[in-house]
Amino acid sequence: MTNFLTLTRMRVQLTLRNKMFLFFSVIMPFGFFFLYAGVFAKGNPRGVQYLLGPVIALTVMGSFWGLSAALVMFREQGILRRFHVTPVTPGDMLASSIVANFVLTMPTVIVEFLFARFVFHVNHFGNLGTAFLLIALGTMAFASLGLVVASVTNTMQETQVINQLIWLPLIFLSGATVPLIDLPRVVQRVGLFLPATYLVTELQDAIYWAAKPWNRDVLIAVSSLVLWACLTFFLSAQIFRWEPEAKIPRRAKLLVIATAIPFVLLGVWENSSSRTVSKAKAMAESVAAPAAANAPAKSAQ
């Protein structure tokens, strides 16, 4: 345990020196926060509370980008080679990376809650227990995705391309940037196959509607994230490389597709039931209702 904690501390120190991590895990999340809260919600506490779920989901999801880039950079710079000569296994390195990523992401999430409370006067955050459960599992799940990307890519340029191909669908098809209910029906159906969709929706459910941890929809999202995290971590441990010269079989890259099985099955079920879309619609209508009620009163004045 002492060796693991030491390795984790070293991973935190190395990551803090990575400018890309600081951008995707600190600067970008706060940029999204003030854009959503100040511009989209217009500073209205109820609107900020509603949009806090997508903002925090973006913070959680963005952590995979910095983690994958950091590991590839460490490999290219020979840092991982130095770890390889110590009694450190791939599992130790990857697990410490996830823990370090969690430790570095949580302060940003907490500051976002504090900004919402003291800058935008949000007095109620729903069920924080459910929210932080989803945040913790989401951080670990998307960090595991970053480990897979780092394991299958060979150069920083290749990593950036793969990250971009993953990142764009995650943020634009999940309801994180455009509300799920405002997307075309075909796009909604595609979005139901993405893990980000369930993270966004259930974080909104927890923060805006105070969903309990044992709520059925929360349990489904939690179970899917846990299963996905286990699959991606196991795969990344099998194909992890310490040195840039090491190669992995092409069929190993095909196994990456198998990690999507939990959300393929969940997407098929959700497309037949439309529960997630219906919930997103109900929350959006709940936010819009007070504004619509106030509009006639303002006109009368």
Q: How many CB atoms lie within 10 A of CB 29?
A: 23
pLDDT at residue number 50: 93
On whether the CB atoms of residues 151 and 162 are closer than 8 A, the answer is no
Type of residue at 143: A
DSSP 252-299: HHHHHHHTTHHHHHHHHHHHHH-HHHHHHHHHHHHHHHHHHHHHHHHH
Per-residue pLDDT of the chain (301 residues; tens, 9 = 90+): 666 777 788 777 777 776 767 777 778 889 999 999 999 999 899 999 999 999 999 999 887 887 888 888 888 888 888 877 777 788 888 888 888 889 888 999 999 999 999 999 999 999 999 999 999 999 999 999 988 888 888 888 888 888 888 888 998 999 999 888 999 999 999 999 999 999 999 999 999 999 999 999 999 999 999 999 998 898 888 888 888 777 776 666 677 777 888 888 999 999 988 889 999 888 988 888 765 544 444 433 3
CA distance 298 to 22: 44
Query: In 238-266, which positions are buried (b, 16+ CB within 10 angstroms) versus exposed (e)?
Result: ebbbbeeeeeeeeeeeebbeebbebbeeb
Locus of tokens 């504004």: 291
DSSP 13-41: HHHHT-HHHHIIIIIHHHHHHHIIIIIIS
pLDDT at residue number 295: 41
Structure tokens given for 154: 């060979």
Nearest alpha carbon to residue 109 among 32, 223, 195, 209 = 32
Torsional class of 88: left (φ above 0), alpha (ψ -120 to 50), beta (otherwise): beta
CA distance 184 to 200: 18
- For the full predicted model, state whether its pTM sits above 0.75: yes
Question: Residue 65 to residues 72, 176, 190: CA-CA distances in angstroms?
Answer: 11, 16, 22
Locus of tokens 């846990």: 226
DSSP 205-258: HHHHH---TT-HHHHHHHHHHHHHHHHHHHHHHHH--SSTT----HHHHHHHHH
Torsional class of 121: left (φ above 0), alpha (ψ -120 to 50), beta (otherwise): left
Nearest 5°: the CA angle 68, 69, 71 is 65
On whether the CB atoms of residues 202 and 229 are closer than 8 A, the answer is no
Question: Residue 198 to residues 144, 216, 273, 280: CA-CA distances in angstroms?
Answer: 17, 12, 14, 11
